[in-house]
């Protein structure tokens, strides 16, 4: 599923409750103790606000009205005590809430990353990584806001409000009822404003994720941006997005801030009404003014938490969009997860057998149409064919990056669909055409092949991969940090590091996508030597471009438009003057296979229509040993 599409749906109130309930049910139990402490501290803060307001009554009545000196000490002591208590419990409350909030964010980040690691390549094929990263970033902080708002507003403001309203009712139930007359218009105003704010907020989330994604992609592709002088175009595109986001944010401010004058005016009515009625009543009844002061103090103290709670819904809406987007990703079922009855793969010899393998990336275009062949144990099988024939797809399928439509892939007789992914992938070392280096040192990057590899093993692997020498020339040797994706290293050096990573893995099966470009003769020779050493004694499937790899392979599989059209050893295939292989071979005239590949494309087109009509004596020799 594309994460962008689902964003357009609206959040109805029942979904909002569902999201909040889900977040609570997933997280509440974990933090029971912290919540108990936080709520207890909040109760003390809330109660102390009520007590402060309550103390106004004896203060006014006993000290100022009845002028009893003894009460000065009692009241002042009580006020001091309440402030100390409120300060301490406020501290405990804030720390506990922050701990819960931070830990929840950390947990969502971990869950998100774990889930992303489980999702199949098909998810990444459909999703732009820049947008994904930007969305995760925005959404996780949105979740923190949601939690901060719900937890702190509900815990702190609600409890304070309850304490203060309790004091108000205790002091003067009639006046309290007068104040509550402003409730209904306030609720109506909040509902109106949050309806208006909803659609604008959604637009801002979309715009921001688009904007951040576009910025990230521009930075990642900076070399291309400069080479094609795309700066002005990108500046205009991003400038437009920034302008739109700014406009929408201003709109949000304009709409949401309407709550300020509305609540101020309503509060003005409440305070004026209370004073008018209370003052009038005091004149008539000659009551001591303490209760009235206490009431007004509680009313004024209640104003801030009440206003914050009224605004809660506005912010809540924005964060709910974020929370929902997080769940949209977390709810995607990983496609290639282990079957419930999956068993570990046991590789004894390492034979790989393709049996009638059919596959397509999408329903529309089948890519493989019944592929049959065997990569014999401990031998090298070279796969050749024109661009788009399906060679890389075969390599992806052996690693179970996608599920087959029909057929089986067997390793030592075990169907890879029924074994655990971890055991399968641990039995394989993969060297891609474009090596990828991760953040960390050179040694770290080799160690990704096998986390428990010792330093001696890493050095030995680097020596075999012909990388040891250049590593020692780096400023800090094996401890030199590599730049982003190894930009500080040459193409050949990166390749050799990725070969060292594969060597250190020490897996019985090797999948190799031969690099053809970006290497000068010298580094190509070194990379080739490195590959030769790692291929010894391992079942190797290599997407072969170099003539030497093809000629020396134990078995050659010729692919064309998703089918195996010929297979056998070089000598057998070349002996048939009409074989596609012979034609390929003649075409290259001693040149590198990449040249042949290009010539094939020129001659027979990318789909290989012409070649498929050629006589193919070797066709359908699936299972024949090299
Ligand atoms: N992720 C993908 N999503 C959809 N289609 C894909 C994907 N990857 C490859 N294809 C399609 O599958 C077919 C086979 O691609 P594949 O990469 O396996 O060919 P190849 O023989 O390795 O080509 P090359 O030598 O150019 O790398 C092509 O038609 C390609 O367009």
**Ramachandran class of 484: left when φ > 0, alpha when ψ lies in -120 to 50, beta otherwise:** beta
Question: 388 CB under 6 A from ligand 1?
Answer: yes
Can you point out the beta strands (E) in 78-206?
none
Residue bearing the CA closest to ligand 1, atom 1: 125
pLDDT of residue 610: 37
pLDDT of residue 482: 84
Q: How close is the Cα of 503 to the center of ligand 1, in Å?
A: 27
pLDDT of residue 520: 63
Mean pLDDT of 357-362: 90
pLDDT of residue 3: 44
pLDDT of residue 59: 82
Closest atom of ligand 1 to CA, residue 559: 21
pLDDT of residue 530: 73
pLDDT of residue 413: 92
pLDDT of residue 582: 85
Give the tokens for residue 102.
């931070």
φ/ψ (deg, to 5) at 354: -95, 125
pLDDT of residue 423: 92
Q: How close is the Cα of 474 to the center of ligand 1, in Å?
A: 37
Looking at per-residue pLDDT, the higher value among 504 and 281 belongs to 504
Mean pLDDT of 361-385: 89
Whether residue 614 is predicted with pLDDT greater than 50 in this model: the reply is no
Show the domains of the chain with their CATH numbers: 14-330 (1.20.1560.10), 350-427+509-532+539-626 (3.40.50.300), 433-506 (3.40.50.300)
Say which range, 99-103, 377-381, 454-458, has the weakest mean pLDDT.
99-103
pLDDT tens digit string along 535-569?
888 899 999 887 777 888 899 999 988 999 999 98
φ/ψ (deg, to 5) at 364: -75, -45
Residue bearing the CA closest to ligand 1, atom 29: 388
pLDDT tens digit string along 172-219?
888 888 787 777 887 788 777 777 776 676 677 778 878 887 887 788
pLDDT of residue 388: 86
* Complex ipTM tops 0.90: yes
pLDDT of residue 10: 54
Whether residue 268 is predicted with pLDDT greater than 90 in this model: the reply is no
Question: 390 CB under 6 A from ligand 1?
Answer: yes
Question: 391 CB under 6 A from ligand 1?
Answer: yes
Mean pLDDT of the chain: 80
pLDDT of residue 589: 56
**Ramachandran class of 99: left when φ > 0, alpha when ψ lies in -120 to 50, beta otherwise:** alpha
556 within 8 A of 569, measured Cβ to Cβ: yes
142-163 burial: b if 16+ Cβ within 10 Å, else e: bbbbbbbbbbbbebbbbbbbbb
Say which range, 251-255, 285-289, 578-582, has the weakest mean pLDDT.
285-289
């Amino acid at each position: 599923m594309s994460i962008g599409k689902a964003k357009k749906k609206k959040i109805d109130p029942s979904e909002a409750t569902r999201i909040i309930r889900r977040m609570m049910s997933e997280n509440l139990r974990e933090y029971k103790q912290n919540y108990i402490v936080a709520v207890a501290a909040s109760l003390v803060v809330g109660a102390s606000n009520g007590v402060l307001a309550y103390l106004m009554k004896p203060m006014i009545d006993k000290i100022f009205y009845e002028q009893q000196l003894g009460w000065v000490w009692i009241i002042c002591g009580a006020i001091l005590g309440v402030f100390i208590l409120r300060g301490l419990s406020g501290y405990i409350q804030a720390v506990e809430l922050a701990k819960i909030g931070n830990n929840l964010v950390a947990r969502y980040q971990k869950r998100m990353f774990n889930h992303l690691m489980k999702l199949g390549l098909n998810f990444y094929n459909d999703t732009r990584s820049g947008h994904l990263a930007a969305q995760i970033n925005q959404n996780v902080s949105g979740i923190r806001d949601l939690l901060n708002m719900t937890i702190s507003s509900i815990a702190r403001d609600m409890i304070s409000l309850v304490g203060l309203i309790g004091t108000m009712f205790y002091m003067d139930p009639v006046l309290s009822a007068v104040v509550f007359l402003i409730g209904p218009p306030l609720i109506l105003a909040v509902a109106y404003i949050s309806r208006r704010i909803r659609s604008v907020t959604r637009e801002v989330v979309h715009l921001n994720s688009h904007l951040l994604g576009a910025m990230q992609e521009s930075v990642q592709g900076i070399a291309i941006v400069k080479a094609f002088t795309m700066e002005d175009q990108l500046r205009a595109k991003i400038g437009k997005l920034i302008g739109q986001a700014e406009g929408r944010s201003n709109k949000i401010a304009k709409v949401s801030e309407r709550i300020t004058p509305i609540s101020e005016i309503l509060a003005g009515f409440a305070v004026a009404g209370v004073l008018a009625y209370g003052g009038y009543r005091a004149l008539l009844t000659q009551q001591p003014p303490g209760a009235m002061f206490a009431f007004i103090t509680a009313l004024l103290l209640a104003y801030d938490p009440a206003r914050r709670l009224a605004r809660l819904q506005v912010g809540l809406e924005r964060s709910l969009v974020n929370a929902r987007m997080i769940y949209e990703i977390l709810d995607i079922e990983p496609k290639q997860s282990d079957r419930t009855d999956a068993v570990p793969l046991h590789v004894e010899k390492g034979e790989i057998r393709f049996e009638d393998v059919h596959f397509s990336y999408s329903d529309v275009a089948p890519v493989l149409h019944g592929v049959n062949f065997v990569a014999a144990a401990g031998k090298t099988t070279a796969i050749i064919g024109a661009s788009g024939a399906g060679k890389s797809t075969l390599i992806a399928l052996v690693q179970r990056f996608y599920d087959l439509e029909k057929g089986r892939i067997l390793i030592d007789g075990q169907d890879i669909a029924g074994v655990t992914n971890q055991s399968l992938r641990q039995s394989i070392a993969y060297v891609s055409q474009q090596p990828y280096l991760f953040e960390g040192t050179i040694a770290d990057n080799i160690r990704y092949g096998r986390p428990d590899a010792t330093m001696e093993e890493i050095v030995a692997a680097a020596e075999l991969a012909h990388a040891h020498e250049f590593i020692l020339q780096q400023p800090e040797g094996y401890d030199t940090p590599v730049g982003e994706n190894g930009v500080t290293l040459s193409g050949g050096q990166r390749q050799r590091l990725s070969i060292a990573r594969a060597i250190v893995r020490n897996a019985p099966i090797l999948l190799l996508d031969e690099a053809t470009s970006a290497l000068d003769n010298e580094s190509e020779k070194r990379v080739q030597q490195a590959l030769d050493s790692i291929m010894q004694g391992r079942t190797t499937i290599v997407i072969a471009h170099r003539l030497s790899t093809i000629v020396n392979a134990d078995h050659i599989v010729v692919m064309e438009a998703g089918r195996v059209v010929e297979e056998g050893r070089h000598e057998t295939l070349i002996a048939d003057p009409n074989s596609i292989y012979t034609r390929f071979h003649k075409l290259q005239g001693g040149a590198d296979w990449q040249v042949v590949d290009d010539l094939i494309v020129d001659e027979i087109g990318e789909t290989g229509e012409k070649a498929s009509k050629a006589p193919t004596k070797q066709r359908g020799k699936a299972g024949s040993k090299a």
